[in-house]
Amino acid sequence: MPAESVTPAIVSTLTPEEARVLGCLIEKEITLPDYYPMTLNALVSACNQTTNRDPVMQLDESTVARALENMKSRGYVFQVTIVGARVQKYRHNLKGKCPDLEPRHTALLCMLLLRGMQTAGELRQRTERLHAFADMQAVEDALAELIGYREGPLIQCFPAGPGRRVAQYAHLFCGDASAALPSVTVATAAAPSELENEAEWRARMEAEITLLKAQVSRLQTLIGAVK
């Protein structure tokens, strides 16, 4: 079943680069508070990390600076001037854009911004540095609250189905996430590769069964001879 289209709470959507910047600002505020707000150079490095990022990006300074300027104009980011500091710093305004968010919600949104669509189990494991969920039920409850956010959903759930073994979740800061899903065609017959794999599996199982039958028959013959 195709995912239903939703109307996100976020009126002004982000580009993938802007979503990465926002996710990094949220992450570093929680994990590295001594280095927050962040300088442009630190933010570029955070955006280009090869760990805990999907996809891995290679954003240059001008791209990140442009993303920050665009986000400032829409209230996602504030520029901070610190007396005596030689460089400008930046902080996110997620709380201002989406009031009433609790740490559990922020942790989930951060990880979805940094790593894209994920399952509830993946989110629980990957948010450990940001927020400790007691159990899977706590994760699922927080996800449900983000879907039922008062101004409109902040995330979208894609139930298990063709192409997905279990339900997955995606943020809506870049718009309706269903538009980015790969199209999945439900075929009435298996694809050739699937048929080949099944044929190989059946052939292997039949060979093993034949071998087992032969071994049992031989054992029966030996037991009969002993008797």
Question: 123 vs 202, which has greater pLDDT?
Answer: 123
Indicate whether 62 and 164 sit together in one domain: yes
Same domain, yes or no, for 44 and 123? yes
- Residues 172 and 198 grouped into a single domain: no
pLDDT over threshold 90, residue 222: no
Q: State how many domains the chain has.
A: 2
The larger pLDDT score, comparing residue 153 to residue 207, is at: 153
What is the share, in percent, of the chain residues with pLDDT greater than 70?
Answer: 74
**Domain co-membership, 154 together with 221:** no
Q: What angle do CA 145, 150, 153 make, to 5 degrees?
A: 60
Average pLDDT, the chain: 85
φ, ψ of residue 200 to 5 degrees: the values are: -65, -45
Do residues 30 and 99 share a domain?
yes
Same domain, 58 and 139: yes
- Asked if residue 11 is part of any domain, the answer here is no
**CATH at residue 70:** 1.10.10.10
Distance CA 22, CA 5 (A): 24
In a domain, 9, yes or no: no
Mean pLDDT of 73-91: 90
Tokens standing for residue 45:
């490095």
Q: Quick one: tokens of 147? A: 């879907």
- State whether 221 and 149 are in the same domain: no
The answer to whether residue 4 sits within a structural domain is no
The parent domain of residue 123 ranges over 16-180
Residues 213 and 163 in one domain: no
- Whether residue 212 has pLDDT greater than 80: no
What are the tens digits of pLDDT across the range 139-188? 999 999 999 999 999 999 999 887 788 999 999 999 998 866 655 444 33
Sign of CA dihedral 12, 18, 20, 23: negative
Do 123 and 197 have their domain in common? Answer: no
Is 85 in the same domain as 151? yes
Q: What is the pLDDT of residues 43-65, one digit of tens each?
A: 999 999 999 999 999 999 999 99
Answer whether the bond into residue 103 is a cis peptide, omega within 30°. no
User: In this predicted structure, what is the pLDDT of residue 209?
Assistant: 62
DSSP conformational letter for 201: H
> How, if at all, do strands 77-80 and 89-92 pair?
antiparallel
Confidence band for 18, pLDDT divided at 50, 70 and 90: very high
Residue 185 is given by DSSP the state -
Instruction: Enter the pTM of the model.
Output: 0.77
Q: Among 219, 75, 100, 224, which residue's Cα sits nearest to residue 154?
A: 100
Domain boundary among 180, 201, 218: 180
**Mean of pLDDT values over 79-95:** 89
Burial environment of residue 225 by CB neighbours within 10 A (0 to 12, 13 to 18, 19 or more) = exposed
The three-state secondary structure class of 181 is coil
